[in-house]
Amino acid sequence: MMKTAKKFRIYGYIALMALVIGIFVPRSWSAGHEVYDVTVKRLGQTSQIIIGGNGPFNYKDFLFDNPPRIVIDCIGSEHNLPGPRTYSLDRGGITAIRASYTEEPTPKVRIIVDLQTRLPYVVFKEGKNLVIALDAVTSEPFAQWQASKFYDYRRPPQTDLTFQAKGHEKPTSVPAYSDKASVTVTFESREEESAGDDFLINVEYEKGDLVKIIRQFANWTKQNIVISPNVSGTVSVSLRNVPVRTALDIILKINGYAVVEEPGDIWRVASITEINAAMAQEQSRAKEMEMLAPLVTEVIEIEYASAGDIINSFPENTQNERAGTGIQVNERTNSLIVTDTPTNIDRIRIMIDKLDTPTQQVNIEAQVVEISRDVSRELGMQWSSEATQEDDEGGSLLVLDFSERLTDELSDLLSGGGKTTTTVTLNAVLTALESANKAHVISRPNISVLNHQSASIVSGAQVPYIKLDDAGNALTEFIDTGVQLSVTPHVNPNNRITLEVTAEVSSAVLAGSGVNTVSTINTKNANTRIMVDNGATAVIGGLISNDESISESRLPILSKLPLVGRLLFTSKRRQQTSREILILITPRILGAPPESLY
The third-level CATH classification (topology) of the domain covering 200-287 is: Phage tail protein beta-alpha-beta fold (3.55.50)
Instruction: Give the pLDDT confidence score for residue 592 in this predicted structure.
Output: 61
Residues 424-456: tens digit of each pLDDT: 556 666 666 666 677 788 888 888 999 999 998
Q: How far lies 307's CA from each of 106, 337, 338, 353, in Å?
A: 60, 10, 12, 12
**pLDDT value at position 536?**
86
Say whether pLDDT at 243 is over 80: yes
Confidence of residue 408 (pLDDT cuts 50, 70, 90): very low
Look at residue 227 in the predicted model and tell me its pLDDT: 92
* Structure confidence at residue 432 (pLDDT): 66
According to CATH, where is 2.60.40.3500 located in the chain? 33-149
Average pLDDT score over residue span 496-515: 76
Task: Give mean pLDDT, residues 404-432.
Answer: 46
pLDDT for position 461: 80
Does the predicted TM-score (pTM) go above 0.75?
Answer: no
Instruction: Determine the average pLDDT of the residues in 51-73.
Output: 90
Mean pLDDT, the chain, as a whole number? 74
- Contact, 521 vs 461, CB < 8 A? no
Q: What is the DSSP letter of 525?
A: E
DSSP three-state, residue 382: strand
Q: Name the more confident of 113 and 179.
A: 113
pLDDT digits (tens, 9 = 90+) for 350-392: 989 888 888 889 999 988 888 776 655 554 444 433 333 434 4
Distance CA(161)–CA(194), nearest Å, equals 15
**Closest by Cα among 505, 513, 507 to 479:** 507
User: What is the domain class of 33-149 according to CATH?
Assistant: mainly beta
Q: Which ranges in the chain are annotated with CATH 3.55.50.30?
A: 200-287
Scanning 356-418, the segments in alpha helix (DSSP H) are 373-378, 404-413
pLDDT in tens, 155-210: 444 444 444 443 444 443 333 333 344 455 555 444 434 445 567 878 788 888 89
Q: Of 559, 549, 465, 560, give the one whose Cα is nearest residue 507.
A: 465
Integer Cα distance of 422 and 437 in angstroms: 23
What dotted CATH number matches 295-315+324-355? 3.30.1370.120
pLDDT, tens only, 135-166: 776 767 888 888 877 654 344 444 444 444 43
